[in-house]
Structure 1
């Protein structure tokens, strides 16, 4: 399949009182054999957590876990000794490797937190667990895809953090009427665009807030905004 469209309203959903989650791909109680991921991109969960609630300490191993707050802030603690408050505009990356435990709570006693939880299969199994975070440079994402996550040890830049996979995450804020380009870092990868907000067109395909589309047959893509939009681009190996 050269293109895979995931419309926001068709995503899976789960409600647990303190948590409301929409699942782009099969996860937990939501199973769709046609939505098992995109290449090595396994999970995109759009989570809303009520005030002071959250995910109690639980384990992970051999998974790349990316957390992106969209509104509010997360209180993170893990077995590596990290205790952090992650706010909207920041991104957290955990390479679980041989195994970690961690917890994620809404840091507010009064407001919800909305964040994306993204999982990518690792390139190398059983590495020493690693943790990193980055603050998005607001000036560099205007009408431009800014690289924010790149393969470990391949790109030395203050503007990106490393991931244990040949994957590249980029972020753009596109003004209404603007057209920008994305060119793949690796011609063998596929590209998954997730529309955080706004309305965009990618070729002849129109996408709205929280829609996603995976593309494998083009190395250079043009993204036009019908209104101011925020777009997350996830470039991953397909196998």
Structure 2
């Protein structure tokens, strides 16, 4: 088993007044040659956007882009004509494919929005751009792993062009669980949204990240009430 620990305090940080962003991997002005990606996971940004503000229209290509609101409401528009309002409990995916331009802004003019923006390298290039979002119930992740993303349109959650599976979990203090990897050669990046948890002997705190690979199973012990995001991705792609 191999691991890499990214403490919350070690992340890149950018503050633009309207945007407060923490980068687990190299992004924009934060460039760290030791933290470019974890397997196919390229970007994990922890963003807070002020009321009424947001990212203007900008292009992407050949990237799978996932947005997970943690607080507040996010508004999406793109050049394919999609327009979505994404709230806490929703997961949005956009396959940029050949090329797509989109904007993301805080839908509220009074409250901030907090969300994770995640980029995953695809396993197919130049696909037709696509957009989807789904709503997930918090009760379905109480002391269990709730699948929110997969490689298959007929599987649970949204889907992307990559052999990746994402899960959310809300653990009560003292709860223990195991996660079995879906595919040989994949790794898992665990991102702690809230609380304290021990993963395969490594203690993690809020906003810490732990990459684990060359193993088939992960063991979790919640040291306090904890909320987690697990991102299983190929290590070689």
Shorter-chain TM-score range = over 0.9
Counterpart Cα distance in 1 of 2:87 and 2:127:
27
- SS at 2:70 equivalent: strand
Alignment of 1:1-239 (within 5 A): 2-153=2-153, 156-157=154-155, 159-239=156-236
RMSD: 1.0
TM score, norm. by length of structure 2: 0.97
Contact in 2 for aligned 1:152/1:165 (Cα 8 Å): no
Runs of 4+ in 1 over 6 A off after TM superposition: none
Residue 81 of structure 1, CA deviation: 1.2
Counterpart Cα distance in 1 of 2:21 and 2:192:
17
Counterpart Cα distance in 1 of 2:197 and 2:132:
31
Counterpart Cα distance in 1 of 2:200 and 2:146:
21
TM score, norm. by length of structure 1: 0.96
Structure 2: 5+ residue stretches without partners: none
- SS at 2:9 equivalent: helix
Residue 178 of structure 1, CA deviation: 0.3
Q: Aligned pairs, how many?
A: 236
Counterpart Cα distance in 1 of 2:213 and 2:101:
34
Contact in 1 for aligned 2:92/2:158 (Cα 8 Å): no
- SS at 1:139 equivalent: helix
